[in-house]
Structure formats: C-alpha cells, structure tokens
Structure 1
C-alpha cells in the first residue's frame, strides 16, 4: 500500500483496516494487517487488489 501511495494513488475511502485507493480512475482495495494478530507478524503489512 505504501508503494501505491508513494506512486500517486490517493485514499478515497477508509473503514477500519480497509482502504480504497484511486489514481486516474483506477481503484485499488487494500487491507492492512497490524503487528501481531493470529500470524504473530513482526511488522504491519498490507494486501491490495485492483478493482478495475
């Protein structure tokens, strides 16, 4: 998600750990996973998917 934001996408919607990003009419949905959780991760991660 940080690479998308640094590349010019902007946040157009946020609800809890889910974000929708937009750039030039193209949308991406991202989910953020905080440190810890069920997987015991050591850092915050995100996973994003193109919508169109």
Structure 2
C-alpha cells in the first residue's frame, strides 16, 4: 500500500496555491518592463520591441 494518491493530491494543491503568486510576479515583471520601455522612448526615442510572455 502506498501514499502516492495523497502525495499527488498535495502536489496539485501546492501548484494551485502558487498559481496566484506566479500571476502576480508575471504582472510585476510586465509592468516594470513597460516602465523601462516608456523611459527609453522618452529619453532616447528608442522603442524596444519586447515579445509578450508565454503562458
């Protein structure tokens, strides 16, 4: 008899709990990147082409 099912359930719970935090981190990175782009455009008239993050 193993506890594989219990372990898998706990792993799924941990992943689900971390999803919101990961989304917050991606939003923070996107906001900061947008700020850098805006400052570069204002200061040097250089528009950075930054690809959208993959989800």
Same fold (TM over 0.5): no
TM-score scaled by structure 2? Answer: 0.26
Q: Looking at CA atoms only, which structure, 1 or 2, has the larger radius of gyration?
A: 2
Relative contact order, higher structure (CA 8 A, sep 6+): 1
